[in-house]
Amino acid sequence: MANLYSPGETASAFSGDEWKDLVGMDAEEAKAAILKKYPNMTVVVTPEGSMFTADYNVRRIRLLVDKNKKVVKLPGVG
């Protein structure tokens, strides 16, 4: 099977440190910034403290947000 991922589009290429400036940012702005660099990723905005699936997906980035839709934690792949 062919490799479906291009450089810069998988979890192994993602550095959470590069997104430290996203903490405190509006969720939609943060999502747009991530998708600009990684257009083939899926960005999921999740309220802080809510439950979500435990499956690992190398093409998914989770944004945890507060009640004001501000990013509260470094985005994570999975």
Quickly list DSSP for 40-56. TSEEEEEETT-------
Query: Residue 11: what pLDDT?
Result: 47
Which CATH code, of 3.30.10.10, 3.90.1150.10, 3.40.800.10, 3.40.470.10, is assigned to 11-77?
3.30.10.10
Residue 78, classed as helix, strand or coil, is: coil
Query: Residue 77: what pLDDT?
Result: 86
Query: Residue 9: what pLDDT?
Result: 53
User: Hunting for tokens 């940012």 — which residue is that?
Assistant: 25
Question: Quick check: 76 pLDDT over 90?
Answer: no
Domain ranges of the chain: 11-77
> What is the rounded distance in angstroms from the CA atom of residue 7 to the CA atom of residue 14?
10
Query: Residue 16: what pLDDT?
Result: 59
**11-33, pLDDT tens digit by residue?**
445 665 778 899 999 999 999 99
Extract the runs of DSSP E, i.e. beta strands, from the chain. 42-47, 60-65, 76-77
Neighbours of 41 (CB within 10 A): 22
